[in-house]
Amino acid sequence: MSEIVPNTIILGDAQEILKKIPDFSADLVLTDPPYFLDKLDADWDPQEVKNITQGQVIKNLPGGMRFDPDQGVRLQKWYQKISQDIFRVLKPGGFFLSFSSPRLVHRLAVAVEDAGFYIRDIFIWVYPEGRAKAQTLTRYTSVEDERLSYWKTPQVRGNYEPIVVAQKPPEGKLVDNFLSNGVGLFNFSERLEGNYFPSNVLMTEKMAFLPPIFLIPKPKKEERGDFNTHPTVKPLALLRYLIRLTTQKGAVVLDPFLGSGSTAIAALLEERKYIGIEINREYYQIAFRRIEKAKQEKAVNSTAQPLLL
């Protein structure tokens, strides 16, 4: 394969493709890797994932909540190898942001740290539509015991996703690194709704139990594309905000687990370059189509705000 250049998406396994990306060529890695819950691991199969998310395979536990203590161990081993390649590919001081799940984020953070990164923070993205996961025990036992009333499996409704914010160690002082490599500091002109200082809590919708700060616009229906069958599409506004916070215009944003292309589109709309890797042909094709559509809309609206947001 010839050298991978920016503004490309590649169909393949991140573990192999990352090795073909030159050293120090990315300013930011922003990614939403497989969470290693149920079948959502390093080689997930779209049909199996569809079955899980539509409740056709796991009859008793909702997708994502079948308890397997080895999942974390597997995630950590695998993500550490991925993170070592990302370390080489990133510029000194560059940020590495990974979405994760509340249940396994500790493993992911240690994997990233053990690959040489500094853990700077763990942001949380709070959303209202989490599914209730707890199960009533009477479904699993014929014992009738009133002590079991109101007691359910230890799974509350999921209302947030953590984002591990890691940084490749800078060369010398942060300020010198920023001036020579263009990365390593946060852009504090980036304010959230209400002119709030950047926060490690991010929300895409107003929620009754939280003050309406740290707000990022809610995704519009059309942004994912009606042809998009990917089960875990991230809001573009959230990705765009993270890109603006951590990079300057012209930067190269790499997503080794591109899914339906959201990170690449966010980079494109923010005048950054992108490199995306996706192992699954169906998702790769969806990403390709979404990116082409975003390019066309951007060209048409080059003097106005992009249509997508």
Contact residues toward ligand SAM (CB under 6 A) are 13-15, 32, 34, 42-44, 230, 232-234, 256-257, 259-260, 262, 277-280, 283
Smaller CB separation from ligand SAM, 49 or 203: 49
Smaller CB separation from ligand SAM, 117 or 284: 284
Smaller CB separation from ligand SAM, 97 or 177: 97
Of the candidates 34, 38, 1, 36, the one whose C-alpha atom is nearest the C-alpha of residue 16 is: 1
Residue 293 Cβ vs ligand SAM, minimum distance, rounded to whole Å:
14
Residue 285 Cβ vs ligand SAM, minimum distance, rounded to whole Å:
12
Residue 62 Cβ vs ligand SAM, minimum distance, rounded to whole Å:
17
Residue 136 Cβ vs ligand SAM, minimum distance, rounded to whole Å:
30
| Euclidean distance between CA atoms 13 and 32, whole angstroms | 15
Q: Which residue is nearest to ligand SAM (CB)?
A: 259
| Sequence-ordered list of residues with C-beta below 8 angstroms from that of 204, at least 6 positions apart, any chain | 125, 127, 215, 216, 217, 218, 219, 235, 237, 238
Longest dimension (CA), the chain: 69
Smaller CB separation from ligand SAM, 44 or 95: 44
Smaller CB separation from ligand SAM, 124 or 181: 124
Of the candidates 304, 307, 255, the one whose C-alpha atom is nearest the C-alpha of residue 283 is: 255
H or E element that contains 293? helix 281-300
| Euclidean distance between CA atoms 201 and 213, whole angstroms | 9
Of the candidates 222, 304, 303, 258, the one whose C-alpha atom is nearest the C-alpha of residue 9 is: 258
Place of tokens 């991978």: 4
Residue 234 Cβ vs ligand SAM, minimum distance, rounded to whole Å:
4
